[in-house]
Chain A
Amino acid sequence: NAGVMQNPRHLVRRRGQEARLRCSPMKGHSHVYWYRQLPEEGLKFMVYLQKENIIDESGMPKERFSAEFPKEGPSILRIQQVVRGDSAAYFCASSPPGSPREQFFGPGTRLTVL
Chain B
Amino acid sequence: AQRVTQPEKLLSVFKGAPVELKCNYSYSGSPELFWYVQYSRQRLQLLLRHISRESIKGFTADLNKGETSFHLKKPFAQEEDSAMYYCALRGGATNKLIFGTGTLLAVQP
On A, residues with C-beta under 8 Å from B are 3-4, 31, 33, 35, 40-45, 48, 55-56, 58-59, 91, 95, 100-108
Contacts and interface: CB of A to CB of B under 8 A. Distances in A.
B104 to A, nearest CB: 12
Contacts, number: 53
Contact of A48 (B6, B51, B94): B94
26 contacts: A3-B43, A4-B43, A33-B96, A33-B97, A35-B99, A40-B101, A41-B101, A42-B4, A42-B100, A43-B44, A43-B99, A45-B98, A48-B94, A56-B94, A56-B96, A59-B96, A95-B95, A100-B32, A101-B95, A102-B49, A103-B95, A103-B97, A105-B43, A105-B44, A105-B45, A108-B43
B101 A45 contact: no
Nearest to A41: B101
**By CB atoms of chain A within 10 A, which of B46, B96, B98, B102 has the most?**
B96
B86 interface: yes
Interface of B: 4, 6, 32, 36, 43-46, 49, 51, 86, 94-102
A39 B83 CA distance: 17
A102 B100 CA distance: 18
Most chain B CB neighbours (cut-off 10 Å) among A35, A43, A102, A106: A43
Contacts of B6: 42
B86 A42 contact: yes
Nearest to A101: B95
Contact of B46 (A31, A33, A102): A102
B48 to A, nearest CB: 11
A91 B51 CA distance: 25
Contacts of B36: 105
Given A91-B44, A105-B45, A107-B43, A42 B94 contact: no
A43 B86 contact: yes
B43 A45 contact: no
Contacts of B94: 48, 55-56, 58
B95 A31 contact: yes
Contacts of A107: 43
